[in-house]
Amino acid sequence: MKKIAIYGKGGIGKSTTVSNLSAAFANMNKKVMQIGCDPKADSTILLTHGERVNTTLELIREKKEDFDLDDMVKVGYGNVICAEAGGPTPGLGCAGRGIICALEKLEEKGAYKKYKPDIVFYDVLGDVVCGGFSMPMRNGFADKVYVITSGENMSIYAAANICMAIKNFKDRGYAKLGGIILNKRNVADEEKKVKALCKDFKTKIVGILPFDEIVHEAEEKKMTVIEAYPKSSMAKAYIKLAKGIMNA
């Protein structure tokens, strides 16, 4: 079982990328589980065609301990098992705590034993890497972390912070940095900037996703590109990235 955490700045296209990777792996006959670790709880929405997944924090608030694994997940495109951590009531509580609760509950309820996934994706907001947000990196969860960035300065800055956190955690048995995914925004010197980031942290670009309006068109249909436009060049880019991650 490959356990992969994907981090990146909010708005960088992280959840869209992860969902397309999940769909690509599903089409390769892999059993996939995608766990959204963002308070917005929208990581899996393209896989479920817009249907919400009950978040773990909602279930805990409403039912305490009186809920089952089936209440926590929804089966999406390609039989991808979708779960969402969720967030606290606005103004109350810690968003990072939701991630901790979700991952602990999924393990406690036997999710990995029941579904036996070949690949688990943790889709994590990467503007901060502390407390609960570092949970997917910890021993027993993800084995590798991939960081998504564009060449935009704030995205590069966030990616550098994530890479630094991974570096600082290396002696604790945490997940290792698998590489950088460049999600292009067509800004000046984009690849040059991301290659410089890679050099700073002794890693590599594991995949380049071109800027393509077809991504937004698929989102309007509440689908991944893999499902909506399977023969497109963008779908091929996601498939190439998935194969690169599988063979890493």
CB-based contact 108:92 (threshold 8 Å): no
CB-based contact 238:214 (threshold 8 Å): no
User: 26-30 long-range contacts, Cβ below 8 Å, gap at least 24?
Assistant: 26/77, 26/78, 26/79, 26/80, 27/78, 27/226, 27/230, 27/239, 28/242, 28/246, 30/118, 30/119
Q: Is residue 170 flagged as an active site residue?
A: no
Query: What does CATH list as the number for 2-247?
Result: 3.40.50.300
CB-based contact 44:19 (threshold 8 Å): yes
Q: Is residue 2 flagged as an active site residue?
A: no
- Separation CA 207–CA 236 (nearest Å): 12
Express each pLDDT in 184-225 by its tens digit. 999 999 999 999 999 999 999 999 999 999 999 999 999 999
- Separation CA 188–CA 26 (nearest Å): 35
Tell me what pLDDT residue 95 has: 66
For residue 42, is pLDDT > 80?
Answer: yes
Catalytic residue, candidates 127, 195, 221, 236: 127
For residue 183, is pLDDT > 80?
Answer: yes
The residues spanned by each domain of the chain are 2-247
Catalytic residue, candidates 3, 14, 30, 193: 14
Q: How confident is the model at residue 94 (pLDDT cuts 50, 70, 90)?
A: low
Classify residue 100 by its DSSP letter. Answer: H
Q: Is residue 199 flagged as an active site residue?
A: no
Instruction: Take residue 51 and report the two structure tokens written for it.
Output: 């249907």
3-class SS at 133? helix
CB-based contact 209:201 (threshold 8 Å): no
For residue 123, is pLDDT > 60?
Answer: yes
Catalytic residue, candidates 9, 74, 109, 193: 9
Provide mean pLDDT across the span 46-72: 92
- The reported pTM is 0.95
* Neighbouring residues of 171: CB distance < 8 A, sequence distance ≥ 6: none
3-class SS at 71? helix
Q: Is residue 195 flagged as an active site residue?
A: no
Q: Which candidate, 28, 44, 33, 19, places its Cα nearest to that of 243? A: 28
Catalytic residue, candidates 31, 40, 195, 222: 40
